Amino acid sequence: MSKGDGLVRSRFYLLDDNEVEWEGKPCVRFWGVDEKGARICILSNLIMPYGYFLPNQQDDLETIRQKVIEDKKHFPGIISVSIETKKHLGQECKVLKITCATSDVRSGYSKELQKLVGKGEGFENDLRLPVRYMADLMLTPCGWNECETDKIKLDGAEGYDAYVASTAPKSVADDTVPTLRILAFYTLTVGEKGSAKPESDPIRAIALATTSGKSATLVSEKDDVKVLKDFVEFVKGYDPDIIVGFQTNTQDWLYLIQRSKAVKFKLAVGRDSSEPHTSVYGHVSVAGRANLDLFDVASGIPEVKVKTLENVAKYLQLDSAVKFTTFEEWDRSSLWAEESGRRKLIENASMSAQASLELARETMIFPMQLSALTGLPLDQVMAAATGFRVDSYLIRKAHQIGELIPGRNEQPYFTYRGAIVLEPKTGLHDDVAVLDFASMYPTLMEKYNLSPDTFIKPGESVPEDSVFIIPEVNHRFKTKPDGLYKTVLATLIHERLSIKALLKGASPKSTGYKVLKERERALKVITNACYGYAGWAGARWHVREVAESAAALGRETITKTITKAESLGLSIIYGDTDSLFVKNERAKVKQLLDWVEDELGLEIRVEREYRRVMFTEAMKRYAGLLPDDSLDIVGLEVVRGDWSDIARQVQEEVLGKILRDQSLEEAVEAVKATIRKLQKGKVPLADLTIRKTLTKPIEKYVVRTPHVEVAKRLMKEGWTLTVGDKVAYVITKGPGKLFQKAKPSSQVKPEDVDREYYLENQVKPAAMRILERFGVSEGQLET
């Protein structure tokens, strides 16, 4: 490579970043799209890897500094050591900043320093260089950034311009999104026996679809090397910025990677012609492009119980959903065996790619907004668990205020008391209002300055008038200065409010509306996760007392509100954590709301109004009729993914007849009709299938349950099942325990079904859960 044309100002929409070595130095490579729509890559080694060391207070930093610089044997690869002022848990402190020549020596010096000075603590040496850059410079992924650059020629750079940053990049406020090229793909594999194995089973087809309309279905003729080759050609030719698919991180990419290895093919799909690799949070990383698995987006739609592309597409009413069918892997080999089946599979492959593309278009704004908010690159943000999204957000905020970023040392864990749930008043209630505290925990955390850096340890003395003492648990927090959580939550809450205000004035059809809406959602997600994050042992800023205090304040809040409601003569029907269900006497409700706002200083709203609502004796399970005549069903079998459809349907019918039509008779009739259908064998297998998730590796189970036994059987037959997979089974006739009667749904014939089980253990319990509240006995369901 050679230095080129001199300085230019580059403004770029940041899509991806990664660490590389360049000119012998650790360096970050930013990938993005510039204002003219050119794809660009910017190299920067303006920040070298570094971390901090906080020694004991009495230690003389200058002496230690000298020792570290001179002792090359114990401290290799250190470029410079300086003394800086930072904050640790809100207290100003002097620390050593240790800058390293390479990333790999970073974690070693802390231990050496501890040996040298006896005590002390290392900070920030676990942050990878791209994270370092993003936080130090507050760069925005899925947002615009700019810097002075020097154009360079980079060997093998095709389709993009390469630069070296000569000034530090910085974020630019600009909500526009450039036109991005999205590629959706689907890989068709067929197993000879059981799941397809990359060592022996070729890729049968790869279907591709793009936002520009260009599409292809690459079908394997003799061997699949040609398909792999054409796939790479297609990717390079189209040069996508974003690659999407469904379950690509766990299926397609893994198969492509392993298959390529098996046939010794270089899967050079990266912008730098590198191969994809599995990276943090278990996602697959493709250099220069954002690889997004839409399955992770679908995980955020709880209404869809079985997360297949087909179900998600149907739920979102995508165009491609109309003709879509899911061909499960056990159906594929017989289909592939003959010409018409083959055609169907290939046709469906191209529809899958098409559906993924539509799904991406429909849902991508949220991931992009969450990426911009948290600072995690687009390909990581949806793969990362909630805790890591908050972690990323806090790292950036902490850096901004000069607070040292602690490591993630897993600490011993203690649980604590949580929220209050009230025993419901059972039966039917007309005209009920549901009152809800707005963002209760975040608000309480902000109000009482609950934070790791304001928490006063037991025994520590402080002036009494500058302390919040939390009821019941007696934890103490400084009223001043603002803690990290307060600072962060105040920003999040404030920003969310201002977006809400903007949304009120905007037309839902305007271009910016959806972006704002999704940004608002991203803010809400992060705001609401802060409480749980504080109580999570894996959190960098985990302090159990913070979460415990928020919960205690929540209990106090709801208890006081209940007392007030009762004194106003409002009948309380139910309540959970931050909600109260009361008889909708509007004048009294208004009085209560005003009281909460005036006396407690918290916002409370009428969240919903039920024309009618019913409770069983159980908490967290009820059903209500909304003003628009729709049913709101909570916690009951209808909304549970681990009951058969037949049971869920009959319960929903019963609830409809009772709440909407107010006819107990019709409800009973509906159940009888279902029972007759079941007894006649007229209920399709699909409605009898029960699905449960494998939540741990199969060998970790200590109890034999239907879904685990079925999973074991399938695995023995050569099917691949992993944690997170749903196991579909049907209970069949025969002797023994339930787990012995459960068979994989794909292997059950209609005549094998144990109708008695479905009658006694699915349909009747689901129906009776509701009906027994109204005096119906099981005998009355006899047909």
Partner DNA sequence: GCTCGTTGCTTACCT
Partner DNA sequence: ACAGGTAAGCAACGAGCG
The torsion defined by the Cα of 507, 513, 516 and 522, in degrees rounded to 10, comes to 110
The C-alpha atoms of residue 677 and residue 664 are separated, in whole angstroms, by 20
Binding track, positions 472-511, relative to DNA; x by CB under 7 A: ----------------------------------------
Q: Which stretch binds DNA (CB under 7 A): 20-28, 318-326, 358-366, 640-648?
A: 640-648
The two structure tokens encoding residue 208: 């591709």
**Nearer of residues 529 and 631 to DNA, judged by Cβ:** 529
**Nearer of residues 277 and 417 to DNA, judged by Cβ:** 417
Binding track, positions 436-475, relative to DNA; x by CB under 7 A: x---------------------------------------
Q: Which stretch binds DNA (CB under 7 A): 9-17, 158-166, 214-222, 574-582?
A: 574-582
- Does 659 participate in binding DNA (rule CB under 7 A)? no
Using CB atoms within 10 A of its CB, is residue 682 exposed (0-12), middle (13-18) or buried (19+)? exposed
- Does 620 participate in binding DNA (rule CB under 7 A)? yes
Give me the DSSP letters along 753-771.
B-HHHIIIIIIHHHHHHHH
**Nearer of residues 65 and 707 to DNA, judged by Cβ:** 707
| 563 SS3 class | helix
**Nearer of residues 305 and 314 to DNA, judged by Cβ:** 305
**Nearer of residues 1 and 698 to DNA, judged by Cβ:** 698
- Does 418 participate in binding DNA (rule CB under 7 A)? yes
For residue 750, give the nearest of 733, 727, 766, 771 by alpha carbon: 733
- Does 302 participate in binding DNA (rule CB under 7 A)? yes
**Nearer of residues 324 and 536 to DNA, judged by Cβ:** 536
Alpha carbon of residue 749 to chain centroid = 38
- Does 388 participate in binding DNA (rule CB under 7 A)? yes
- Does 305 participate in binding DNA (rule CB under 7 A)? yes
The two structure tokens encoding residue 183: 């590629």
- Does 631 participate in binding DNA (rule CB under 7 A)? no
| 276 SS3 class | coil
- Does 739 participate in binding DNA (rule CB under 7 A)? yes
268, 428, 631, 738: residue in contact with DNA (rule CB under 7 A):
738
The C-alpha atoms of residue 625 and residue 612 are separated, in whole angstroms, by 5
90, 141, 377, 535: residue in contact with DNA (rule CB under 7 A):
535
204, 517, 621, 743: residue in contact with DNA (rule CB under 7 A):
621
The C-alpha atoms of residue 755 and residue 32 are separated, in whole angstroms, by 59
The C-alpha atoms of residue 431 and residue 581 are separated, in whole angstroms, by 10
Touching DNA, residues 697-726 (CB under 7 A): 700-708, 726
Q: Which stretch binds DNA (CB under 7 A): 133-141, 189-197, 512-520, 611-619?
A: 611-619
Question: Starting from the edge strand earliest in sequence, which strands make up the sheet with 455-456, in order?
Answer: 455-456, 476-478, 467-469
**Nearer of residues 302 and 508 to DNA, judged by Cβ:** 302
Q: Which stretch binds DNA (CB under 7 A): 126-134, 140-148, 572-580, 661-669?
A: 572-580
- Does 45 participate in binding DNA (rule CB under 7 A)? no
- Does 529 participate in binding DNA (rule CB under 7 A)? yes
**Nearer of residues 214 and 416 to DNA, judged by Cβ:** 416
The C-alpha atoms of residue 65 and residue 545 are separated, in whole angstroms, by 36
- Does 696 participate in binding DNA (rule CB under 7 A)? yes
- Does 401 participate in binding DNA (rule CB under 7 A)? no
Could you tell me the CA-to-CA distances from 511 to 142, 464, 495, 517 in Å, in that order?
17, 53, 20, 11
63, 258, 630, 693: residue in contact with DNA (rule CB under 7 A):
693
The two structure tokens encoding residue 65: 């500094």
Give me the DSSP letters along 681-729.
T-S-GGGT-EEEE--S-GGG--S--HHHHHHHHHHHTT----TTPEEEE
The C-alpha atoms of residue 601 and residue 616 are separated, in whole angstroms, by 34
17 contacts: CB under 8 Å, gap ≥ 6: 28, 29, 30, 31, 130, 133, 134, 141, 377
- Does 34 participate in binding DNA (rule CB under 7 A)? no
Give me the DSSP letters along 45-88.
-SS--EEEEE--TTS-HHHHHHHHHH-TTTSTTEEEEEEEEEEE
Dihedral sign (CA 256, 261, 264, 267)? positive
**Nearer of residues 132 and 555 to DNA, judged by Cβ:** 555
Touching DNA, residues 103-162 (CB under 7 A): none
For residue 683, give the nearest of 757, 626, 632, 631 by alpha carbon: 757
Residues composing the chain: 783
**Total chain residues near DNA (CB under 7 A):** 63
**Nearer of residues 642 and 717 to DNA, judged by Cβ:** 642
- Does 416 participate in binding DNA (rule CB under 7 A)? yes
- Does 512 participate in binding DNA (rule CB under 7 A)? no
323 contacts: CB under 8 Å, gap ≥ 6: 351
User: At its nearest, how many Å lie between DNA and the CB of residue 658?
Assistant: 16
- Does 279 participate in binding DNA (rule CB under 7 A)? no
Binding site for DNA (CB under 7 A): 302, 305, 385-388, 390, 415-419, 421, 436, 528-529, 531-533, 535-539, 547, 551, 576-579, 616, 618-621, 634-635, 639-642, 691-696, 700-708, 726, 737-739, 761, 765, 769
